[in-house]
Amino acid sequence: MCSGITRVPCSHYFIDFLWRTDLQTTEQALFKILPEQTKAGKSGFKFQIKAIDQWFDTLPLANIRVSTKTIYITLKETNQHLVAYKKRLYFLEKIHEPIVELASNLKQLNLNRELPLDEKHSRIAILIQKLHKQVSLGYKLILRDLLNCKVFFLCPGKRKLMALVIQRIMRHNSLAIIANYQFYNAPRRGQWSEVHQLFLLAHKEKILNKKITDPSLQLVTETTIKNIYLQILLVSIADPYRMAQHHTYSIFKQLEEWSALADLHLHQDNEDKDALVIDLSKDSQPSFVAPQDVPDKQATWTIDTTRLDYTHLIEHFHGPETQTTEINVELLKQLSLSWGIAPNRQHSRRPANAKLKVAIGLNNVHYVLNGNTEPDWMKVKEAESSGKFILSENSLPDNGFSSRHVESTVKVSDIWGEVFQNKSLSDSGKDENKDKASQSKADPNKPHDWEMVNESIGGYCLLWDHNDSINAKVGELIAISHETGQKEGYWFVGTIRWLKCIQTDKIQIGVQIIAPNAIAVSTAKFVSMQEGMKSRAIMLPAIPIMKQPKTLITTALGYKVRDQVMLDEYRLINSNITSVKTKIVLLDTLEISSHFSRFKYSLAEDFYGTHTKKVTPPKNADNDTLSLDSDTDFDSIWNDL
């Protein structure tokens, strides 16, 4: 018997009765879909503390495949069993941190891959979602039991446990949403609604600011429900579809600290009309709305981001605890704009229907601008190499694992056998199936066909609607050419500003055009009177009407401001194509991404001529500018010697 107060047995049937009669709208929305539960059989999972410890100690956590499979299957089984909430909590707390680590390791297998993901990697993405969903479901069962517990001595520390459980559910939901964002997918249906309802429940129970320890956090040891809610909220508002995959997670991780700089409160009618207002009643990614457009005033909240401006972010960015972050200054500027008042579009989009030729990546853009041929210096470089030319400048580090190729027509019966495959030491590095698949793909040099969805003065929205994947990434360089009309064969150069997977086999990208009339050139650093190794580069013209100077796009690494660079371009001189070399100096950086850098530049003779005129030595001073350590003073006379 539960107590002398009632004769109803202390069982989950009594709890279920209370659930059906007592819980209010917010809780009903949270617990709308729960699995049917039965008593565990004798052969089922044992929930005694010693048995849980023994089961956990035997988990081969170093073997990701086996441990992930074991934990997932056990979670599914235990979520269908009637168990006292304290025992379930002990079990879930034991595997909470390992699940975060395992899901993170699984996610690494899908990053930096062509999109849409193939069948195997799509299954891995689904597995990540299901891992987080199952552990969240276990914590939701505990939360339901706590809410139904009306006798205080049956559930001591109820409010503290509720805060812990809500934080854990929000943590796993947040990680699942971030994983979807990193693969440029929309969160699953109901995910945002659940996160909003959890926040509103914590607000109702007055536990938003309770400190909660979480070993899965990386930059802090304690957090609150409000901070962890703001963490995922601010990532979404920053629009991860406009970010590189690694930047999305870096921002999410950094917001473990930065979320404390923001605040959230119910919207007041007398607040500034430009306040950042969000509607928590929708099952969708948060977006700024006008207060009058929200029917439920209890779902209208205001975000205070005044301390997330560029100045405050720079202060935290240069702190000793953030020195290893992947977030750069350019990204901080983008974030401060995203978390300010949402700007209106500068140019309206208009629908369009056309076929375009598209080349993605610095190498591919260089190839099409060079008339669909490799430059002579590259051909020589290929001949001197091993004979196999790889188009992409970016390569993934060898992490000790390799992925087996799975043909899209083959039905895979066991995902666990497909997640990881160790490389043997005798492996020559050649996979016959992989070679056949790569041979069947189109020539990577060749531009691909895309469909135009709409266009504006500054860019395009493009659609990839083909059966195979494409190597498109946010921040990547892109060249676009119309197939028909006056623009046929005329290449525009731009960058991919956002990317989103539509359904399972389509991709939409937003392209900002940087300049027309780009020229494919080569560049080499000029150090100690010698040219370094040549690399591809794109020379962009000045556009006076847009106040845009002439610029140079180089590889992501290898060049920096004030470098002397030998620029080599081919010009038509006396009816002959002639190589013309020019020495330039890189000036300010206009853009840096993981894929390319963009610099202003000046002719070396103009740069050094201007700078030497600014410095006038005293009349009686010794002329010591002819230093043995520098050759720059001779730049203007080399051609005359």
Residue 369 and residue 518 in contact, taking contact as beta carbons nearer than 8 Å:
yes
What is the rounded distance in angstroms from the CA atom of residue 382 to the CA atom of residue 376?
10
What was the pLDDT predicted at 36?
Answer: 82
Please report the domains of the chain, with CATH numbers, ordered by start residue: 14-251 (no CATH), 351-389+443-516 (2.40.10.220), 518-614 (2.40.10)
3-state SS of 74-136 is HHHHHCCECCCHHHHHHHHHHHHHHHHHHHHHHHHCCCCCCECCCHHHHHHHHHHHHHHHHHH
What was the pLDDT predicted at 572?
Answer: 61
What was the pLDDT predicted at 570?
Answer: 77
Query: Where does 149-280 have alpha helices with state H?
Result: 158-182, 191-204, 225-237, 245-258
Q: Kind and range of the H or E element at 507?
A: strand 506-516
What was the pLDDT predicted at 488?
Answer: 54
What is the rounded distance in angstroms from the CA atom of residue 180 to the CA atom of residue 187?
6
Taking the chain (641 residues) in runs of 10, the rounded mean pLDDT of each run is 37 38 60 80 84 93 89 93 93 96 93 88 91 95 90 84 96 96 91 93 94 95 96 92 89 93 84 72 77 71 86 68 61 82 53 82 89 70 47 36 38 51 41 45 69 82 87 89 65 90 86 87 86 89 81 89 89 69 89 86 83 46 42 39 33
Here the tokens at position 284 are 């969708």
| Nearest to 391, CA basis, from 380, 401, 382 | 382
| Nearest to 37, CA basis, from 126, 140, 131 | 140
What was the pLDDT predicted at 300?
Answer: 83
Name the residue with tokens 């607000």.
203
Residue 480 and residue 460 in contact, taking contact as beta carbons nearer than 8 Å:
yes
Claim: this prediction has a pTM higher than 0.75: no
Residue 238 and residue 335 in contact, taking contact as beta carbons nearer than 8 Å:
yes
Residue 504 has what DSSP assignment? Answer: T
Residue 234 and residue 262 in contact, taking contact as beta carbons nearer than 8 Å:
yes
What was the pLDDT predicted at 17?
Answer: 37
What is the rounded distance in angstroms from the CA atom of residue 185 to the CA atom of residue 171?
19
Provide DSSP, 259-323.
GGG-EEEE--TTS-TTSEEEETTSSS---B--GGG-S-GGGEEEEE-GGGSHHHHHHHHTSGGGT
Output the CA torsion 128→134→136→140 (10° steps): 170
